[in-house]
């Protein structure tokens, strides 16, 4: 089950990977917090069910979170993937499923919604992407996988983000496939693939 808010290229990478049974996971549904986005169109083209749960349609953030959890539950997913989903998830979702997020920076550097801008503004020479478990904080959950991307002198936010996203899509597909095929366990904050904790 994948949550999106935008163009959905990470979703597309998962849909493409899941077309092969050997991937080990299927995208059972795609949820969004807004209408009219390319991410939903990508799901529809792949004949994957979609739903939209808008924050503005609910009296409180907690009510939105509960409504989102109720829609997710209809599809009985093993895992929720936040792939460019630009809302902070609450306990109704987080207590019910493991949630994996992809973030366009090397956490804990540059959390939040403007990670690529912030990395450029700071002047770092290397940034990258992080796939991590979601907890109650903003981009604070345990890291599963990271990959570095060098910043070029001529980069602007757009060029750097596109290069990060190319890596991000590959990393997210790799992580979701491995989680599905191998299982995973944690020791403290350390996430490892494989079902048996050492």
Annotated binding site for (6R)-10-formyltetrahydrofolate: 61, 86-89, 101
Q: Which two tokens stand for residue 110?
A: 């540059």
Report the relative pairing of strands 30-32 and 2-4 from DSSP bridges.
parallel
How big is the chain by its Cα radius of gyration, in Å?
16
At its nearest, how many Å lie between ligand GRF and the CB of residue 5?
7
Do 128 and 166 form a contact (C-beta atoms < 8 A)?
A: no
Does the active-site annotation cover 103? yes
Binding positions: 8-10, 61, 86-89, 101
Q: Are 131 and 91 in contact (CB under 8 A)?
A: no
Residue closer to ligand GRF (CB basis): 9 or 127: 9
DSSP-based three-state secondary structure for 97: coil
| Chain centroid to CA 150 | 22
Span 37-56, contacts to ligand GRF by CB under 6 A: 39
Shortest CB 88 distance to ligand GRF, Å: 12
168 binds ligand GRF (CB under 6 A): yes
Q: Contact, 134 vs 102, CB < 8 A?
A: no
Among 10, 27, 134, 171, the residue binding ligand GRF under the rule CB under 6 A is 10
Strand 126-133 with 99-103, pairing: antiparallel
- Answer yes or no: are the C-beta atoms of 33 and 85 closer than 8 Å: yes
E strands, the chain, in order: 2-4, 30-32, 50-52, 80-82, 99-103, 126-133, 143-150, 184-187, 190-193
- 69, 83, 144, 173: which one binds ligand GRF (CB under 6 A): 83
Does the footprint of ligand GRF cover residue 90 (CB under 6 A)?
no
With CB under 6 A as the contact rule, which of the stretches 4-12, 49-57, 135-143, 183-191 interacts with ligand GRF?
A: 4-12
Nearest-approach distance from CB 139 to ligand GRF, in angstroms: 9
Q: Annotate each residue in 119-148 with x if it binds ligand GRF (CB under 6 A) or - if it does not, as one string.
A: ------------------------------
Count, residues near ligand GRF per rule CB under 6 A: 15
User: Active-site positions?
Assistant: 103
Binding residues for ligand GRF, rule: CB under 6 A, are: 4, 6-11, 39, 83-84, 102-104, 165, 168
């Amino acid at each position: 089950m994948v949550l999106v808010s935008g163009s959905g290229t990470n979703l597309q990478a998962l849909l493409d990977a899941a077309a092969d049974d050997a991937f080990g996971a299927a995208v059972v549904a795609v949820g969004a917090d807004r209408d009219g986005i390319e991410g939903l169109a990508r799901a529809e083209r792949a004949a994957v069910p979609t739903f939209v749960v808008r924050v503005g349609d609910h009296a409180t953030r907690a009510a939105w979170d509960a409504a989102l959890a109720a829609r997710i539950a209809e599809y009985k997913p093993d895992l929720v993937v936040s792939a460019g989903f630009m809302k902070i998830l609450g306990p109704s979702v987080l207590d019910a499923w493991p949630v994996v997020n992809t973030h366009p920076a090397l956490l804990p550097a540059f959390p939040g919604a403007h990670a690529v801008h912030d990395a450029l503004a700071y002047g770092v020479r290397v940034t990258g992407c992080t796939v991590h478990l979601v907890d109650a904080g903003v981009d604070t959950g345990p890291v599963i996988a990271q990959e570095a991307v060098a910043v070029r002198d001529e980069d602007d936010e757009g060029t750097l983000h596109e290069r990060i996203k190319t890596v991000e899509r590959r990393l997210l597909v790799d992580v979701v496939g491995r989680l599905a095929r191998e299982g995973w366990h944690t020791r403290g904050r350390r996430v490892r693939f494989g079902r048996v904790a050492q």
